[in-house]
Amino acid sequence: MGWLNSDITAVGRRMYSNKAGEATADKLSVLGAAYPTDGWTNTTPVILQKTGRGLLHQPSHPLAILKELIFQQFPDFAYYDSLNPVVTTQQNFDSLGFSEDHPGRAKSDTYYINGDTLLRTHTSAHQLQLLKAGSSGDNVLLAQARNGHVAPANERFLVAADVYRRDEIDASHYPVFHQMEGVCTFARSEVNEQLRQTGKTGQTVEFSDSNPLQIEHTAAEASYLVEDMKRTMNNMVAAILARADGGQDGFPVRWIDASFPFTSPSWEMEVLFRGEWLEICGCGITRQSMMRNAGVPQRIGWAFGFGLERLAMLLFGVPDIRLFWSHDPRFAAQFSPGNISTFKPFSRHPPCTKDVSFWVSHAAPFHENDLMDLLRVTAGDLIEGTQLIDSFTHPASGRTSHCYRITYCSMDRNVTNEEINAIQDQVRAAMVAQLGVTLR
């Protein structure tokens, strides 16, 4: 959850002032709808293009295959996989109890359309809206569920979707990825009736001061929810891992205490898979304030959210996250719906590296994510990765210098040195113009 820890920087961004001319336009168009821009706008055209790719709707795409396998594990949940990525700051942050100064809101980490609107940074953005749609009978929203009749009042639902975060570039980070959200609620009276019948009227789960149960829940209620959540998630992961090539039946799981604004207690679930602890998801007991805000104060529940890419990379043996976005038919042709098969690498096109060294200006603080977006705008998916290879501060002048090594490589074709030199020249010019740095 990288963005839970990053710094707030309120530097004026000009990232969207690129060759597509969006800087002068006072509107940004996303999936056919126009939105006014303002000083918060930092979504680049390269990112906007991704909103239309629909990887989760290509039946033979590994991410879509994984999505369907997970949906199948939850036969009595409603499924959503077509919700618009443009959400309000209210949905993405406020509705979930994110504080005003939460680092996740920083412009350096989030793609804003304008001050009120952004590209969702997580599928949790839809939790309150969907719970509310169930309680108020919002048929327009309920009808967007693929199988809404199964769990009519959105008492249980899954949301699979593309999410957007400004981030570094490397083999496992991409500014767009996919998450699966799960929300499961119960009538409080029924839970208590069941607890009475089974004689489980006490606490059966450990809580700690740093990861407490909510004062609004009894220890027995919270224990019930935690046990149900962990059992459900264990079963889901077991079913998926068992389908992988050489799939394992039993697997060790560990639950790491975590903290999210909208759950308490909270955990991260990790699974030992092929010798590596893999962080599967964040999860926890939904804050009762959210249930009240959703118009279902008489219900209690749990939720999880996990990233599909890391699991898909492991299950399908995909070595680089950019391959999911490749247009190369040699990628797509390898997979088929319902099957987890191992990716057979096709020849990698040769990479080309270029270094750029520069002085940071005192007047314009340098933020690495700005460089990453600049690179994406200028070179798109030709950027394979970046590495900070040198940094120092001059003892006399106090000025700081950085040197980045940029690796260019195409997933689809050979690139020539001349082509990369031309792009590198554009990158250097854009760095001066947009980041205010002095090249060395």
Task: Point out which residues bind ligand DAH (CB under 6 A).
Answer: 1, 122, 124, 181, 260, 263, 266, 282-284, 303-305
**At its nearest, how many Å lie between ligand DAH and the CB of residue 122?**
3
Q: Which is nearer to ligand DAH, 106 or 360 (CB)?
A: 106
**At its nearest, how many Å lie between ligand DAH and the CB of residue 260?**
4
Q: By beta-carbon distance, which residue lies closest to ligand DAH? A: 305
Q: Which is nearer to ligand DAH, 124 or 378 (CB)?
A: 124
**What are the counts of helices (DSSP H) followed by strands (DSSP E) for the chain?**
12, 16
Q: Which is nearer to ligand DAH, 18 or 124 (CB)?
A: 124
Q: Which is nearer to ligand DAH, 78 or 430 (CB)?
A: 78
**At its nearest, how many Å lie between ligand DAH and the CB of residue 230?**
13
Q: Give the span between the Cα atoms of 11 and 9, in whole angstroms.
A: 6
In 188-335, where do the E strands start and end?
253-260, 263-273, 276-286, 299-307
**At its nearest, how many Å lie between ligand DAH and the CB of residue 290?**
10
Number of Cβ atoms within 10 Å of the Cβ of 6: 17
**At its nearest, how many Å lie between ligand DAH and the CB of residue 1?**
4
**At its nearest, how many Å lie between ligand DAH and the CB of residue 266?**
6
Distance of CA 208 to the CA centre of its chain: 28
Q: Give the span between the Cα atoms of 307 and 178, in whole angstroms.
A: 6
Q: Give the span between the Cα atoms of 125 and 261, in whole angstroms.
A: 12
Q: Which is nearer to ligand DAH, 163 or 423 (CB)?
A: 163
**At its nearest, how many Å lie between ligand DAH and the CB of residue 24?**
34
Q: Which is nearer to ligand DAH, 126 or 376 (CB)?
A: 126
415 CB contacts (<8 Å, ≥6 apart)?
349, 352, 382, 408, 409
Q: Which is nearer to ligand DAH, 61 or 122 (CB)?
A: 122
Length of the chain: 440
Tokens of residue 126, six digits: 């839809």
What are the b/e assignments for 186-221, b being 16+ CB within 10 Å? bebeebbeebeeeeeeeeeeebeeebebbeebbebb
18 CB contacts (<8 Å, ≥6 apart)?
44, 45, 377, 378, 430
Q: Give the span between the Cα atoms of 218 and 226, in whole angstroms.
A: 12
Q: Are 34 and 27 in contact (CB under 8 A)?
A: yes
**At its nearest, how many Å lie between ligand DAH and the CB of residue 124?**
4
434 CB contacts (<8 Å, ≥6 apart)?
14, 15, 17, 370, 374
**At its nearest, how many Å lie between ligand DAH and the CB of residue 263?**
4
DSSP per position, 3-58: GGSPPP--PPP-TT-STT-TTT-SEEEETTEEEE--TT----HHHHHHTT--GGG-
Q: Which is nearer to ligand DAH, 233 or 382 (CB)?
A: 233
Q: Which is nearer to ligand DAH, 13 or 126 (CB)?
A: 126
Beta partners for 79?
Answer: 158
Q: Give the span between the Cα atoms of 98 and 111, in whole angstroms.
A: 17
